[in-house]
Structure 1
Amino acid sequence: MIETARGALYTGITTNVERRFAEHRAGRGAKALRGRGPLTLVHHELVGSHGQALRLEAELKRLSAPRKRAWLTQRGVQARQ
């Protein structure tokens, strides 16, 4: 999960977190993140299969911003408010 300079949370999946985050920071990632930097990687976790990762991503994208922050807090992650 990536947090933008204004505190928005972006969720996505990848097989290589470091590479994908570098792409986002360079403006070659998701359009939703372009021009919204600086970006901060606030959370990543290994999920079993590709299908499980897609399901988790879809679940998280349906959450409101406060619920995403609560989800992060449950995992011991403190994102900006």
Structure 2
Amino acid sequence: MATSDHYFYVLECADQSYYAGYTNDLEKRLAAHNAGKGAKYTRAKGPSKLIHHECYDTKPAAMKAEYTFKQLTKAQKIRYIAEGRENGK
């Protein structure tokens, strides 16, 4: 992984809610969430499952993707994730 990569990611939490974020170290961030260090951000205790991620060249682009996702309704979020899976993201 190049250090210039920035990831927008979506987790499905144990309570079936979604958490979106951005990071430059996706593996480390996922490990933190599943170790309970991300629980204060995900609002749910228990394991989180990565269900979607996208790679960007710049941090602002990843931040914009996160912001856009957070503005969606739950139904729109489900549709966004489903479309991403269909397109191989």
Which TM-score band applies after superposition, normalised by the shorter structure? 0.7 to 0.9
Gap change, CA 1:12 and 1:30, over 3 Å in 2: farther
Bigger strand share: 2
Encode CA deviations 1:11-69: one digit per residue, 9 max, x unaligned. Answer: 00000111001001111125132542221111111023101111111000111111111
Identity rate of aligned residues, in percent? 34
Structure 2: 5+ residue stretches without partners: 1-9
Structure 1: 5+ residue stretches without partners: none
2:36–2:45 Cα contact (<8 Å) kept:
no
Measured in 1, the distance between the counterparts of 2:73 and 2:36 equals 25
How many residue pairs were aligned?
Answer: 77
TM-score (norm 1): 0.84
Which runs of at least 4 in structure 1 moved beyond 4 Å after TM superposition?
none
2:83 aligned residue: 74
Measured in 1, the distance between the counterparts of 2:68 and 2:39 equals 19
**RMSD of the TM alignment (CA)?**
1.6
1:1-81 equivalence runs, <5 A: 1-29=10-38, 31-33=40-42, 35-76=44-85
